[in-house]
Structure 1
């Protein structure tokens, strides 16, 4: 199913995930007694909704808080404030014991699959153990189930007898995907799953994720700083800057007519597939992301914005409502 087709169906589907005013702060300690004088506002008052069967892309520069957002939704990080509702179940304050059964319904694909694989055990054992522990298959059926998983992600059955270091980066990511779909979860958070791969391998992994989504009826939160990958796979895209969502729209609409200057500059940095489309010199993104421990007053993007006005320096804009939302006092036409 294409992102556009999923989008057309998404409006009639139920909400799978709802994030309400989510905050994840980390204390910056100093002094003899280690008092927290400031906080790094990694995720700062974010509200999002994800429908069954869609892919929501979350894009932004490194340090904008998108990976922390994904980890907080998965409850690998503890939220400082706000709510996380999964299938209408408030999981915000769940203990580790309460989260354990939830892990079969929510899974994560990491940027570096090698770091999440035990280098001392074979791939077969890495996939078989969860099946046995969670009683998803009888011991006599484990071999068949693991072989079916490997086949789903495009790996031969013989891969099960090998160790993580014997695979290429793309193959290891396929193993990471196999482990994520093992429980047939409802939601998968993909945290930069292709950023460490060659471009040709990136396309293969993105195609695999789309095929699995259609076959297994998966829902993705796809996190990346590469807007090209996000464009290929996403139904909708949320643009994140310094801990906050600054624009949210359908993929086609966001690429055709961005409303926030930050989104426009991100798109300008994305090379078009047809070089003849480069008809004029475009404004590019300059400067570094300010510290999330001390964000600028007013609009957080104003120190880097080419369209900045006095109001932007004094008053922080709110994210508008509607199908194409933007947090900008003077949205682009």
Structure 2
């Protein structure tokens, strides 16, 4: 496995999650016979390490493979190749039956807090369902646990008798977080959990996630395409482009001194709250950046430094 990551100085424990050359390719069909004519390399050889109790932010433009990576980790997508080591155990390619017990350790909070909830089931029933299936608590205590989970995320216990459409977007996302917490997971993949919310509500949800992490010792993979939320919540940031991790490092260091040209373009696109810098000079997409953005146009020279390879940074 590549050793291009910067391990945090505070990380003294063994890694909780290690991705080793993880790949997820989707076949492209075409022609009269509908044969496979190529592949979309959504995730293309990703190496990543997440330590217990930290938040790793994963940023990149839409379509770069962030969500696919998260779905592979929790078993919603089967990787094409590579390893997913969770607490030292390779969980890549596990069957649905084998993944049942892992569901208690790996959870996901989806981007859309409405479509991820069943519209015809009450909030209480949806939070209680995994408790019944995995027998986290005795059956007679399930409703009491549902009340506790709702109160943990800042909602009254009386909310359990209501339906998802009766809540605001921020409240629905809190319900999604409560459902993820129901199984007492170690790692939660947050797949753009605040991108569909108003700015003021985003701050509330981010603060809730930080409080829960401190209280419960959670580990997050926080996926986003905006740097504002990632800057606030992450200990480290990984930048993804065209299915690859192009740069990774400590949040403050990476934002202060980015190395990869694609990271610099992302940072330059971030709004600056200073009207005096409104007409600041913008970083243009150079040929080097375009090569990393568009994998269909690789470098012509075989021995030329490839900007999509993090080991060259």
Pairwise CA distance, 1:282:
3.0
CA deviation string 1:85-140 (max 9, x = no partner) = 10100111211111111000000000012112111111111111211221112232
Q: Work out the CA distance in 2 between the residues paired with 1:219 and 1:277.
A: 37
Give matches, 1:53-68, under 5 Å.
Answer: 53-68=53-68
Give matches, 1:237-316, under 5 Å.
Answer: 237-273=237-273, 275=275, 280-283=280-283, 295-298=296-299, 315-316=305-306
Pairwise CA distance, 1:143:
2.0
Q: Work out the CA distance in 2 between the residues paired with 1:245 and 1:204.
A: 29
Aligned-residue CA RMSD (Å): 2.6
Contact 1:242 1:289 in 2 (8 A): no
CA deviation string 1:182-233 (max 9, x = no partner) = 1110100010100011111111111100000111100000000011111101
Question: What are structure 2's unaligned runs of at least 5 residues?
Answer: 1-7
Partner of 1:15: 15
Partner of 1:81: 81
Pairwise CA distance, 1:280:
3.5
Pairwise CA distance, 1:292:
8.6
Pairwise CA distance, 1:145:
0.7
TM-score where L is the length of structure 1? 0.85
Per the alignment, do residues 265 and 318 of structure 1 end up closer, same or farther by CA in structure 2, a change over 3 Å counting?
A: closer
Pairwise CA distance, 1:270:
1.2
TM-score where L is the length of structure 2? 0.90
Give aligned pairs, total.
Answer: 306
Q: Work out the CA distance in 1 between the residues paired with 2:295 and 2:268.
A: 28
Per the alignment, do residues 279 and 144 of structure 1 end up closer, same or farther by CA in structure 2, a change over 3 Å counting?
A: same
Pairwise CA distance, 1:19:
0.3
Per the alignment, do residues 196 and 285 of structure 1 end up closer, same or farther by CA in structure 2, a change over 3 Å counting?
A: farther
Pairwise CA distance, 1:72:
1.1
Per the alignment, do residues 151 and 273 of structure 1 end up closer, same or farther by CA in structure 2, a change over 3 Å counting?
A: farther
Q: Work out the CA distance in 2 between the residues paired with 1:251 and 1:277.
A: 23
Q: Does 1:225 align with 2:215?
A: no
Contact 1:17 1:49 in 2 (8 A): yes
Q: Work out the CA distance in 2 between the residues paired with 1:237 and 1:291.
A: 18
Partner of 1:122: 122
Q: Work out the CA distance in 2 between the residues paired with 1:318 and 1:120.
A: 46
Per the alignment, do residues 105 and 97 of structure 1 end up closer, same or farther by CA in structure 2, a change over 3 Å counting?
A: same
Contact 1:24 1:41 in 2 (8 A): yes
Q: Work out the CA distance in 2 between the residues paired with 1:318 and 1:264.
A: 14
